[in-house]
């Protein structure tokens, strides 16, 4: 099945991509795709602890199972004052 991954901010700069499409097996969780992304884009590894992910426009913790056509967004934590 296919899922879309969008990169924002520094994550976009490091990957050189604004979005990619990944072919994954059914039964995978968000954390599995994140692990794959960090393996494929090793420069992102240093941002691993400072990465937020959303699934279909909702914050996610990684334990969510993925479905065909899901949209994952990866970005740094949002702060403000």
Domain ranges (residues) in the chain: 2-75
* Tens of pLDDT, residues 4-48: 999 999 999 999 999 999 999 999 999 999 999 999 999 998 888
pLDDT at residue 78, as a whole number: 74
pLDDT at residue 11, as a whole number: 95
Question: What does the alpha-carbon distance between residue 23 and residue 2 come to, in Å, rounded to a whole number?
Answer: 5
Name residue, tokens 């296919």.
2
Tell me which architecture the domain covering 2-75 has in CATH. Roll (3.10)
- The answer to whether 70 and 2 are in contact (CB under 8 A) is no
Alpha helix (H) residue ranges in 1-81: 9-15, 30-40
- The answer to whether 12 and 29 are in contact (CB under 8 A) is no
Question: What does the alpha-carbon distance between residue 1 and residue 43 come to, in Å, rounded to a whole number?
Answer: 26
Residue 35: helix, strand or coil by DSSP? helix
């Amino acid at each position: 099945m296919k899922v879309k991954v969008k990169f924002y901010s520094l994550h976009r700069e490091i990957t050189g991509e604004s979005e990619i499409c990944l072919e994954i097996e059914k039964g995978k969780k968000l954390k599995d795709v994140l692990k794959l992304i960090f393996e494929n884009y090793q420069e992102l590894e240093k941002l691993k602890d400072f990465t937020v992910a959303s699934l279909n426009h909702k914050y996610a913790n990684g334990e969510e199972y993925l479905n065909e056509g899901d949209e994952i967004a990866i970005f740094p934590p949002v702060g403000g004052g």
